[in-house]
Amino acid sequence: MKKVYFIGIGGIGMSALARWFKFKGYAVAGYDKTPSDLTRELEAEGIPVHYEDMPELIPTDVENTLVVYTPAIPDDLRELQAVRAGGYNVVKRSQILGEITAGQKCLAVAGTHGKTTTSTLVAHILTDSGEGCSAFLGGVSRNYGTNMLMSHNPVAVAEADEFDRSFLRLHPAIAAITAMDADHLDIYGDLAHVQEAYRQFASQVSETLVYKLGLPLAPDVTSARMLSYALDDARADFHAANMRLGADGHYTFDLVHPDGIIRDIRTGTLGALNVENAVAAAAICLCHGTAPEAIRKAIGSYLGAHRRLEEHINTPSLTFLDDYAHHPAELEASIRTIKTIFPGRRFTAVFQPHLYTRTRDFAPEFARALSLCDEVVLLGIYPAREEPIPGVTSEIIYRDVTAPSKVLLDYNELCDWVSGRDVDVLVTFGAGNIDRLVEPIADILRKRL
């Protein structure tokens, strides 16, 4: 193959693969439905992208063209139908990632939440230590400004995505599992099938499986060595001790591991949740053979992944954060973390539900998490790949929210609402297009400083 054509090139995982093929010298191009920061970056890097469903723009050199698509693309897309009918080699994103990482030592992070931050930190530790790695990330690293790190060192860091069972294409040497909650029930049906997929993923790990203490993983789930991690539970093989919270929300802690203690690690990111992610990332890197001092230094310089408790304003009187949380468990974890960091301050959460099916399946859990806040702003559901479901709107979450103050708003009303509201700690949550309002909101709030 000399050419690689991506259908859905603007996706976070797809764009990382496009960058990898470009780095390796292939002619790369692709289609996506709408322009975004990622597609604009790809175009600036010399990768042509178009935004209309036009089969005539697909390379005509069938024998020398590989076509990669994401399962988020609808089957009736004309370009997808054309390549399937035209004799092209057409593969899913997950298959290509599996083939790329199969030729390298793969370090993977799976989990219904925590995997982006943890895998991005693993990649940063290996890069900062001087070893280097190729990294296929599910978010944009704030240290490097990209979702794809490239190196000639044959070590690959991969975020193992459970959607569409994609992660079962990976056979990592070392892997972590951070959580096994119910999600993507339109794919799996129920929690039992979600957990069974994670167990299958665990069985494909060859050297070491690092798992969060308490997950339903039997000792015989894999032939690999199994080691546990936790935030501060001393029963775990890897855990934090002597945690100290700074006034700015950053923790310092000691990392206890099977071979000793790494003392006085300061997190570059906010909250206890990121201490736990740092423990998981450090566990992977220690098992890989990274020096303890290099791990301590890199955790301190890690800025996090874009939209993962990302700080935009952080002063004693006004704070604005943005977070990708879109599953009730991660939403609650983020909210509890923020309340711990900023005790006694008025907490306003703006939440945009993501997917009709997820809203339908977890409405009570979303309401319960949001009820921990002082004030809740609920936006309409972001549909992504889905068609509306009768009776499923943000109202089914809103009606059960018990926060002292709550309001339902249209997407286009949010900035005006912020302009007229006195806020203390404001956090935007969601995996939809709420990210496009972050900078406008930050601009509004910066004028108050």
Structural domain contains residue 98: no
Residue 55 belongs to domain with CATH number: 3.40.50.720
Distance in angstroms (rounded) separating the CA atoms of residues 378 and 26: 44
Judge if pTM exceeds 0.95. no
Per-residue pLDDT at 214: 97
Residues 322 and 225 in one domain: no
Question: Can you list the residues of the chain whose pLDDT is less than 50?
Answer: none
Bridge partners for 254 per DSSP? 241
Residues 217 and 334 in one domain: no
Q: What is the dihedral of CA 321, 323, 325, 329, to 10 degrees?
A: -40
Residues 188 and 323 in one domain: no
Residues 347 and 441 in one domain: yes
Point out the domain boundary residue: 247, 266, 301. Answer: 301
Distance in angstroms (rounded) separating the CA atoms of residues 414 and 154: 46
**What SS3 state is found at 273?**
helix
As a whole number, the mean pLDDT across the chain is 95
Tell me if 205 sits within 8 A of 174, measured CB to CB. yes
Plot region of 46 (φ>0 → left; ψ -120 to 50 → alpha; else → beta): left
Residues 239 and 362 in one domain: no
Point out the domain boundary residue: 301, 328, 361. Answer: 301
Residues 75 and 110 in one domain: no
**What SS3 state is found at 51?**
coil
Number of domains in the chain: 3
Residue 156 belongs to domain with CATH number: 3.40.1190.10
Q: Regarding beta strands 105-110 and 174-177, do their DSSP bridges make them parallel or antiparallel, or are they unpaired?
A: parallel
Point out the domain boundary residue: 245, 277, 301. Answer: 301
Residues 76 and 46 in one domain: yes
DSSP state of 153: S
> Which residue range forms the structural domain that includes residue 388?
310-446
Tokens of 151: 């190196």
Residues 316 and 278 in one domain: no
Per-residue pLDDT at 150: 92
Residues 128 and 268 in one domain: yes
Residue 371 belongs to domain with CATH number: 3.90.190.20
Residues 40 and 62 in one domain: yes
Per-residue pLDDT at 248: 80
Structural domain contains residue 68: yes
Per-residue pLDDT at 185: 82
Q: How many CB atoms lie within 10 A of CB 198?
A: 24
Structural domain contains residue 381: yes
Residues 362 and 427 in one domain: yes
